[in-house]
Structure formats: structure tokens, C-alpha cells
Amino acid sequence: MANRRLAPASEQPASFAFSSENAEWAKGQIDKYPEGRQASAVIPLLWKAQEQNGGWLPRAAIEAVAAELGMPHIRVLEVATFYTMFALEPVGRFWIQLCGTVPCDSCGSRELKEYLQSRLGPSGHVSADGNFSWLEVECLGACCNAPMAQINQDYYEDLTPDILGTLMDDLAAGRPVTIGSQAGRVSSEPKGGAATLTDETLFDGSRVGAWRKRFEDQAAKPETGAKPESGGKSEAASSEQRAASDPKPAKPDSGRAAEKPPTDAPAQRVAAGETPVKPGDKADAADRTESSAKPDAPPAPAAGIVAAGEAAGAEAGTQSTLPRNEPPPQPAASGASEGEAAAEAEEARIESKLATLPKDASPEQKADAVGTRPAGLDGARAGAPDALTRIKGIGPGNESRLHTLGIFHFDQIATWSRDEVAWVGTYLAFPGRIDREGWVAQAATLAASDK
């Protein structure tokens, strides 16, 4: 399936801003929702950003949409990485989304996938001529005409490798193509055309007269009253009598002779002239000496408390405080930070180094292969270590592991070299994270502020 990751830092643009026309369109989308619910417009704004950026979403566009809606970046990133309709890497002029779920797989999508791999290479890459890229996605909702693929905005159904190849050649050459079923099917009709409801009299109105005559003949017949039940009993009384003798008509008795019905149901008691419910049963039901109720249960929360709780639990994140009638400021140019670029380079270098080690290598052996262990202390100075958890990315667990390495103070982390950063990151099993979160810079700031 799709690898839902952002494109490498080298392919990310430095900034993104909606064009004036698209910014006006985005404002109209946001205005559809009440105050505090602007986050509901996240999908259409991401779609418009992808369209403006040539068919894919860079990090800067995701952050721009987040700023437009007053949402945390991570909330918008969650949406963009969940739906395969959003391409997170550059795509070709024709982006092929091949359905690989069960109906399409059963009808030949595997052969289509093999064809695309042989012609274009692995998914997620753009062909050398810039025309095509492809991705296997989940169900696109055209199972009736499987196998199928979506190319840009259009569906192409009833595909075979030969048909798909011809279709791609025509698209690349600018020739007209047939959208929809490539076998001539209409909507969801079966192969070979419709095989049911083919009688024209079902639709041309000729059967209406026949049905009307039947109703008129039925109405002309004299009404016949219902035959009275045996002995002149009413239907209700007869039902009670049957219920008394046969309380479970769908579950007959076992066949053995029985002097009385096997149950004492209310219907039997009524038939015998007794009250439906026994006096003793009423007394038991009214017994309040034992109760499962909780008399000390707290009262239901006031409406104001409920409303406050709903607002606090909202998934939309903190909304912007800007007036709705003023355009929001354009986001600052984001692009790939130096930390991101350094982290990606570090991860690639460490991965190649670790590939040469045995699989059972210890954390120390892995770390020694890629860097140099930083010098540590025997204990915290004056017995008072710094709160390393003040550094973003260091939790209580990592703080404890750093203590075992003799790292107790901010000024120690602030002086780490590249080799020492690589050693610690590999030892803690997350190479690249120290660069990505800027531990060294954070530690230097904290060390200076604590002096």
C-alpha cells in the first residue's frame, strides 16, 4: 500500500501561499462553517492547495492550511497523510491511482500493477519524461466495473494491461480518450448488457390498464363478513383461549401426555378467570428493601459544564483569534529546516553503517560503529542534575538513560560534536531525532539562561 510520508527535504519548496483567486475561494469555504468550526474546511483547502502546487502537497502547503484555519500543524498533517487522495510527493502529469482492494484484485488489478511496475518502475516515482507516476490505493468505489484506476480526476474502468497501455499512450500523445468503462458498459450493468427488466411493457404504461381493471373487479365483488368463531366468541376471546391451551404454537410440547400446560403464563391465568399477575409477584416487585439504585449518585452536570467540556475536547485545536472579516497573515516561509536536512543525512549515513553489523549487535556496538561516545561525569555536580526534560524531545525515560551515560547537565549536551550526536542518537535508537528536535541548541539556550 501507499507509503504516507512527506517528500524528502530536498524536494520541499521553501514557502507556499494561496493565489489571490484561491485565497478568496478558501475564504468562501471557511464561511460555510460556524465560528469555532473552521477546521471543518480542512479537506477542501488541502485539495485546493494540492491543485495549485501541481498535484501534490508539500510541507509548506500543509502548514499554510493550518495557519489559515487556526489549527495545529499536526492535525492537518494527520488528515493529509491519512487520505491517499492527497499526494505527498511530486507526481507526473498523469497521476495513476490503481485500486488494489478485493473486487479489483479478483478481476485483474494484479496484472495491471505488474504492467505499471514494468513500464514505470516502483510506485511513488515520476517517469523520466515527467508524464506518469502511479500509486496503489484502497477502494475507489467503482467495484461494479473492476478492475479500475483513477487518472487525475477521471475514472477508467474494465481495464486490462493492453487497454491501460493504449490509454497511457493516448494520454501522453494528447489524443482523446474514453472516460469510464473501456468495455462499453453503462453505469453498473453486467457484462454483456442488461439481462433483467427487459420487458418494455414494464415501462411504457401498457400494464397500467390491466392493473386498474383488476382493482375494479375486486371492488365490485360483494363484501362478505367474517365468519364468527365457534360458539359466537369474539376474535379476542378466541385468541385468549388458544393461548391458554397452546401458549407456544411455534414450539409444541415434546409429545408426552400432560394434564396441564407446562407454563403458568398470564394468558392462561386470564383464560382461567384469574388476574394476569399473581398478587405475590406484585408484592415482590414492590419490595424496596433491596435496590440497585445509587442514592448518592452525583447529579447530572449543568448545561454550561457540558458545553465547556465539549469545547475542551474538540479535535479542531486552537482556533485563530483574528476577525473573520480580515484576511489571515500569510505563513512564514517554512521549507526544510537545517535540522530536518541534517537529520535526513544522518539517518541515511547511519542506516548504511548499521547494515554491515550483525543483527544481534548491542546498542553500544551500534553506537560505536557510527560515532564517538561523549564524555560523561561520575555524578551530577553538587548532587543536583539539571532537569533534562526541559529539552523538547527528552522525556523521563530518555533522561534516565542519559544519566546512565554520565550526562546530567545542559552544558554537556550543548558541546556535543557531530560524532557524539550520532553516537547518542543511535544508542537511544532514534538516529536523526537529536538534529530534528535541536537538542544541542536547546541545551545551549537553557545553559545560558540558568547562569
Q: Of 47, 158, 138, 153, which is closest to residue 84 (Cα–Cα)?
A: 138
pLDDT value of position 345:
76
Distance, CA of 105 to CA of 108 (rounded, Å) = 5
pLDDT tens, residue by residue, 12-59: 888 999 999 999 999 999 999 988 888 999 999 999 999 998 889 999
pLDDT value of position 361:
86
Tell me the HSE value of 366 on the side-chain side, using a 13 A CA sphere.
20
Residue linked to cell 524531545: 393
pLDDT value of position 97:
92
The rounded mean pLDDT for the chain is 80
The residue that leads in pLDDT, 269 or 153, is 153
Q: What is the mean pLDDT of residues 177-189?
A: 87
Rounded to the nearest 10°, the torsion over CA 169, 172, 178, 181 is 60
The residue that leads in pLDDT, 107 or 256, is 107
Q: What is the mean pLDDT of residues 208-229?
A: 67
The residue that leads in pLDDT, 271 or 290, is 271
pLDDT value of position 295:
52
pLDDT value of position 201:
76
- Cell numbers describing residue 190: 453486467
The residue that leads in pLDDT, 159 or 128, is 159
- The partner residues of 257 in beta bridges, in order of sequence, read none
pLDDT tens, residue by residue, 56-76: 999 999 999 999 998 999 999
Q: Is the pLDDT assigned to residue 126 strictly greater than 90?
A: no
% of the chain at pLDDT higher than 70:
76
pLDDT value of position 313:
47
